[in-house]
Amino acid sequence: MELVVRNASELVTCDGPAGGRAEDTLGRIHRGAVGVQGGRVTFLGPEAQLPPSAIGASTRVIDAHGGFVGPGLVDCHTHVVFAGDRSDEFELRCQGKSYLEIAAAGGGIAKTVAATRSASVDELVRLARPRLERLLRQGVTTVEIKTGYGLDVESELRMLDAIAVLAREGPQSVVATFLGLHAVPKDLAERRGEWVETCLELVDTLAKDRRCDFVDAFVEQSAFTHNEARQLAGRARTAGVPLRLHVDQLTPNGGAQLAAELGAVTADHLEQIAPEGIAALARAGTIAVLAPTSTLFARARPFAPGRALRDAGVSVALCTNCNPGSSNSENVSLAMGLACLENGLTPAEAFLGFTRVGALALRRPDLGRLTLGGPADLVVFAAESYRALPYHLGMNEAVHVVKAGRLVV
Ligand code: NIG
């Protein structure tokens, strides 16, 4: 084999049975080893069963030194392509100003839009690269990236071009989401319908040219209405592009019920979700994507009710939501730790949120798990147990990262 990982405390395959206890879904293999050939997993099982022929003269052997091995992590909701800085807003929030007050005073998304509009594709790529690199070093081998800081046709396309360059460069798999309905462009404040119409037309073009994997909208008092999201969903359905929605983040507005009604793959944020919203997501099979670092960073209490969502049978994915306004952080461990401490998830649920469920949120069921014959995206961690990721709060335990069979960290 080209690559073998041995001497692990355990493999956490995330390939156990779904629907029951998260601890079972982890699919742990005590003292497991992984063999890789041609970018695929060709051996997965107890090291004692690794055939002696697996390791030859040209095999690269990674010694896990008693750490655990898991699938490449998946960050299923980010805005890492942007220009500019909003540290001034951070300071205002520390003084007690809310995210919405700052946005109303001319900051917020609009500020990043101004900076992003004046950046070239090269500049956007140059700025995004270190953000992806920080994710990669923690073991994130798949990243979703949204547009939404262009808010005119040309700038939204430039963002998509930057995302495409990053995808081509690798090593991470990149999933592109068109988020034209992120905020109403300032210059169209009195003619918002025009921007919605423009985005609907863009959905057709982007779908035809296969330039995005998802479409998304920010459903919020300060952003877009249920009806506007419905129009987007209708057009996306016709164009064959799956839908995601930012809902119930800052103010409660029945967004989760809307996401369920529209058949969205995911409902993201959910700090303000109502009990009926939880029930609706459970019925529809919509995945909840929680972004606890943004709840912390935007000082937007309460944290989303992760425990209630799980208890109702909703699948919960996690993300860093890395962006300059509400979550200037690529820290996976911090997101997992907050998910346990503040959203009420267990460490097993948090780990699945950044692996198997995160991948399902991106409609990539082949990723976020280790399976025989599946993609060889894997991480060797220094810690013995997956629990260390939320427990060693904010610290990076990843030592080796393998993407499609290639050692990239
Ligand atoms: O996911 N909710 C809307 N969008 C981002 C925030 C973007 C910004 O403030 O720049 C989010 O939190």
Ligand 1 pocket list (CB less than 6 A): 79, 108-109, 112, 218, 246, 249, 294, 321, 323-326
The reply to whether 116 and 193 lie within a common domain is yes
The reply to whether 180 and 155 lie within a common domain is yes
Residue 326 Cα, ligand 1 centroid: separation in angstroms?
6
**Low pLDDT (below 70) residues in the chain:** none
The reply to whether 120 and 244 lie within a common domain is yes
Alpha-carbon dihedral 296, 302, 306, 312, rounded to 10 degrees: -170
Residue 227 Cα, ligand 1 centroid: separation in angstroms?
20
Atom of ligand 1 nearest to the CA of 112: 10
Output the residue whose Cα is nearest ligand 1's atom 3.
218
The reply to whether 83 and 54 lie within a common domain is no
Q: Determine what percent of the chain is predicted with pLDDT higher than 70.
A: 100
Atom of ligand 1 nearest to the CA of 220: 2
- Of 149, 246, 268, 293, the residue with max ligand 1 atoms within 8 A of its CB, to mutate for a pocket test, comes to 246
The reply to whether 32 and 61 lie within a common domain is yes
Range of the domain at 155: 74-361
Residue 149 Cα, ligand 1 centroid: separation in angstroms?
10
Q: At what angle do helices 226-239 and 192-208 cross, to 10 degrees?
A: 20
The reply to whether 178 and 227 lie within a common domain is yes
Residue 294 Cα, ligand 1 centroid: separation in angstroms?
8
pLDDT of residue 276: 98
Atom of ligand 1 nearest to the CA of 268: 1
Residue 20 Cα, ligand 1 centroid: separation in angstroms?
33
Output the residue whose Cα is nearest ligand 1's atom 12.
326
Output the residue whose Cα is nearest ligand 1's atom 5.
326
Residue 253 Cα, ligand 1 centroid: separation in angstroms?
17
The reply to whether 79 and 63 lie within a common domain is no
Output the residue whose Cα is nearest ligand 1's atom 9.
325
pLDDT of residue 106: 87
Residue 304 Cα, ligand 1 centroid: separation in angstroms?
16
Residue 325 Cα, ligand 1 centroid: separation in angstroms?
6
The reply to whether 238 and 104 lie within a common domain is yes
The reply to whether 63 and 84 lie within a common domain is no
The reply to whether 36 and 50 lie within a common domain is yes
Atom of ligand 1 nearest to the CA of 269: 1
pLDDT of residue 288: 99
Atom of ligand 1 nearest to the CA of 321: 1
Output the residue whose Cα is nearest ligand 1's atom 8.
325
| Number of domains the chain is built from | 2
- Of 326, 327, 328, the residue with max ligand 1 atoms within 8 A of its CB, to mutate for a pocket test, comes to 326
The reply to whether 251 and 372 lie within a common domain is no
The reply to whether 158 and 137 lie within a common domain is yes
The CATH number of whichever domain residue 192 belongs to comes to 3.20.20.140
Q: Are 2 and 35 in contact (CB under 8 A)?
A: no
The CATH number of whichever domain residue 13 belongs to comes to 2.30.40.10
pLDDT of residue 153: 98
Output the residue whose Cα is nearest ligand 1's atom 11.
326
